[in-house]
Structure 1
Amino acid sequence: MSFNKALFVIVLALGLMFSVTFDFVGPTPTDGAIINALPDVAVQASLDPTESLTNISIYVNKISNPQPLKTCTTTSCTLSASEVVPDPTSPNTISDVMYTAVVTTNVTTKTIQRHIVVDMENPELSLSQPLPSTISNVYVVEASASDSKQLSTIRALVNNTEVDSCSSFPPVAFSCNLSIDTTSYYDGSYDVSIEAVDEAGNTASISSTVLFSNGNTPPSSSNITVVITSPTDSSNVNGTVAIDVSATTSDPSATIDTVELFINGTSVANLTTSPYTYSWDTTTYSDGTYTITATANDTTGNSNSAAPITVFVNNTVTTSNSTVNVSFVSPTPANNSALTSPPTINITATSDIGAITDISLYLDGVLNTSCTASPCEVTLTNLSNGQHSFYAIATDNNSVTNTTETRTINYSNPSASNITTFAFVSNTPSDGSTVSNTITLNATATGTSVNITNITYYVSGNYIGSCSGSNTTLVCTQQLDTNAYSDGTHTVTATAFASDGENATITRTFNFYNPSSGGGGSSGGGGGSVSTGGTKQLPQLTFTTKTLCPDNKFLVTVESSGSPIVGVKVTLKNLTQTFPFVDYTDAFGEASFNLRGTATYIVTASKDGFKNATQQMAVYACKKEEKKEEPTNTTVTTNSTNTTITNTTVEEPTANESAELNNTTTEKTKDKTKAKLAAKKNETTSLQGAAEIKEKPRQKGILDIVSENVPLILGGIIVVVALGRAITIGMRLIK
Structure 2
Amino acid sequence: MNPKKNLLKMKRLIYIAPLFLFSACADELDSTNKILTPTITSPAAFANVSGEVTVKTLVTPEDQFSSLELLLDGETVATLTENPASFAWQTDGLTDAHTILAIAKNKDGDSYQSEKVTVYIEEESEDNINPFVNITSPASFVTIDGDVTISATAHDDSGIERVIFYTNGDSLTELTSEPYTYVWDTNGLSGTYSITARAYDTSGNFAEAYPASVTVNPKDEFAPTVYIAQPANFDKVEGIVKIVASASDNKGVENVVFYIDSDSVGVDSEAPYEYSWDTNGLSGTFAISAKATDLSGNFSFAYPASVEIEEVIPYVQILSPAQFEILTGQASIVSQIEEIESVDSLRFFVDGVFTEIAFQNLETINYNTNLIPNGNHTFLVKVFAGEQVQNSQVVTVVIQN
Larger Rg: 2
| TM exceeding 0.5 | no
Task: Flag the structure with more relative contact order, 1 or 2, with Cα contacts below 8 A and sequence separation at least 6.
Answer: 2
Question: Counting helix residues as a fraction of each chain, which structure ranks higher?
Answer: 1
TM norm structure 1: 0.15
